[in-house]
Amino acid sequence: MSGESKIVQGDSITWSRGAGELGLSDSGPMNIAEICTDRNLRLGRGGRPALIHQGHAGDPRTYTFEDLKELSCGWAAFLAEAGIRPLDRVCLFLDRVPELYIGFLGILRLGAVVQPLFSAFGEEALFQRIDDSQASCVITQRRHLGKLRRIRERVPSLHTVVVIDHDPAGKPLRSGEVAFSMDDGRRKDFPVARTFGESPSVLHYTSGTTGKPKGALHVHGSVVAQYLTSKVVLDLREDDVYWCTADPGWVTGTSYGIIGPWSLGVTQFVLDAGFSSERWYAAMARHRVSVWYTAPTAIRMLMKDGAEATRGHDLSALRHMCSVGEPLNAEGVLWGRQAFGLDFHDTFWQTETGAMMITNRPGLPVKPGSMGRPFPAVTAAVVDPETGEELREPGQVGMIAIKPPWPSMMRTYWNNTATYYSKFLGGWYICGDRASVDEDGYFWFCGRDDDVINTGGHLVGPFEIESALLEHEAVAESAAIGKPDPVNMEVVKAFVALRPGWEPSDDVELSIMNFIRKKLSPLAMPQEIEFVDKLPKTRSGKIMRRLLKARETGEQIGDTSTLEDD
């Protein structure tokens, strides 16, 4: 496994090379939208497809880079007229419709901060994120408007709600709601806001163990990292058709589902339709997808239908596959070889890091089950959780740590600088995941160092679920943990102690599940509820989620000396 430098010239892959290729200087103006549109036009890519969009029904629609420019200029002009100012937070609360991808660029062109939100979010999840960011505008569609209306009074900062598919013959809009049709709003040009490398660009909320979700704030300069990793790890080239299966509500869907590929002028395919292996393979064959970025849960779902399911689909265009979000087990890599004749290249990174940090890049042998090695421009190690000292012995387990700075690192957590600073130790940024490094420098993931639940690659905070559970009339106390699951890695399991007068029953269970689905999201909904008399707690009153989880997985329970009733 040695001799890397003979295969890939890792030393020449530096952030300054990325900036140089994009024609950026440290002190000059820089705007992600300008790079993804105007720059591509200057390079003669205007007529090339930027987005091939396939919805639930109907024919696919193709948008060229010229369309991207004019439609995003239309968005910027419309938002400016609606009173949105540079640095305002503008939320995208949309399904995977073209407006989501192109509106994203319009917001950045205006110099406002784009805040993507999953359209599956329920009222409470929505409220927390808009309330924290004090967003002034949300862009949405009819089918999600009801949820917004129900929280509108609680978020006075929100002065404009844009509805992209308003039907003038249907129900009227209310005050503060405006209709906008992207296709009709096209503009030849709109001046790019004078933003710089350090100007805020994207605000992505992510769940932690305690407290509300935290907003990781990114800057325009992040594009250097997204560009270079897309080029080197996703191996994107001008003639590719690239498919990132992630929703832009998740950082993968913005860093690598918008910014990275479009900064390279590459055609993206987007599928806005539910999962089925048949539908996925048919779409890949039809659009001749050549590079594919997906997640282990999706891979496991495809595995269930067997490698045979690919037969009958012409996947000959496919030449490169990558994965992110959860550990990709060796089995998934081996199955990929069988089904596609290619390796899945695992990549590790976080909302906070903004771009890939530990990667399997083409040219380096894949060790199935390993996340690969640090991206060449990144310095990463595993460190002692107490001292931040690097652990140099192969196989020692420590915390994954990255040496700051890098272009796409978050600049703070919105309204929460103290937590931002708590992420650093001994000159390292600490990811909060445990891993070991082998003698060849490959990282092997061990687990998260907190109670955050990773379900199908999406992080869900136990505290958010527990807080929401408490609002259900039957619930006195609760704890939420991630229960191992063969497909989704983990699913939410809740332990619930009922209020006096309530008895456990299927009806109560169902009512609690639905309550969470509506309030937070389908992902946060417990798949299982266990009714208990009381919950194990520390003497200081903290719920011992670890103990509940250990019981669930049959692991050693460990030190319980701080338990309430030991």
DSSP secondary structure code for residue 220 in this structure: G
Phi, psi of 335 (to 5 degrees): -65, -40
Token representation of residue 305: 């239908």
Identity of the residue, 74 or 374, whose beta carbon is nearer to ligand 6R9 in the bound complex:
374
Which among 349, 342, 406, 294 is positioned nearest to 13, based on CA atoms? 406
Tell me whether residue 68 or residue 520 sits nearer to ligand 6R9 (CB atom). 520
Closest to ligand 6R9 by CB, 294 vs 351, is 351
Q: How far is the CB of 156 from ligand 6R9 (least distance, A)?
A: 30
Cα atoms in the Cβ-side hemisphere of radius 13 Å centred on 169: 0
In the complex, minimum distance from the CB of residue 379 to ligand 6R9, in angstroms, rounded to a whole number: 18
Q: How many helices (H) and strands (E) does the chain have?
A: 18, 27
We find the least distance from the C-beta atom of residue 143 to ligand 6R9, in angstroms, to be 25
Q: Tell me how far, at minimum, the Cβ of 60 lies from ligand 6R9, in Å.
A: 27
Binding residues for ligand 6R9, per CB under 6 A?
206, 250-252, 324-327, 346-351, 371, 431-433, 445, 448, 454, 459
The 3-class SS string of 306-355 reads CHHHHCCCCCCCCCEEEEECCCCCHHHHHHHHHHHCCCEEEEECCCCCCC
Of residues 160 and 350, the one with the C-beta less far from ligand 6R9: 350
Q: In this complex, which beta carbon is closest to ligand 6R9, that of residue 68 or of residue 371? A: 371
The CA-to-CA distance between both ends of the chain, in Å, stands at: 50
Comparing CB distances to ligand 6R9, the nearer of 154 and 403 is: 403
Peptide bond into 385 cis (omega under 30): no
User: Nearer to ligand 6R9 by C-beta: 222 or 347?
Assistant: 347
Closer CB to ligand 6R9, residue 77 or residue 520? 520
Three-point CA angle 273, 147, 179, nearest 5°: 80
| CB half-sphere exposure, 116, CA atoms < 13 A | 29
Contact status, residue 155 vs residue 77, Cβ threshold 8 Å:
no
Nearer to ligand 6R9, 203 or 324 (CB): 324
CB 256 within 8 A of CB 230: yes
Least gap, CB of 32 to ligand 6R9 (angstroms): 18
Shortest Å, Cβ 388 to ligand 6R9: 18
Q: d(Cα 323, Cα 493) in Å, to the nearest integer? A: 26
CB of 566 to ligand 6R9, least distance (A): 31
* Beta carbon nearer to ligand 6R9, 18 or 461: 461
CB of 306 to ligand 6R9, least distance (A): 24
- Comparison of 348 and 515: residue with beta carbon closer to ligand 6R9: 348
For residue 166, what are the CA distances in angstroms to 91, 173, 181, 502?
18, 8, 8, 44
Residue whose Cβ sits closest to ligand 6R9: 351
CB of 351 to ligand 6R9, least distance (A): 3
Least Å distance, CB 500 to ligand 6R9, is 39
Neighbours of 56 (CB within 10 A): 9
Torsion of CA 36, 39, 43, 46, to 10 degrees: 60
The per-residue DSSP string of 160-192 comes to EEEETT--TTSSPP-TTEEE--GGGG--S--PP
Kindly tell me which of 74 and 327 has the beta carbon lying closer to ligand 6R9: 327
Question: Which DSSP category does 29 fall into?
Answer: B
Minimum Å gap between C-beta 5 and ligand 6R9 is 24
Residue 453, beta-bridge partner list: 460
Residue holding tokens 């387990």? 397
What's the min distance (Å) between Cβ of 369 and ligand 6R9? 10
Contact 404, 383 (CB under 8 A): no
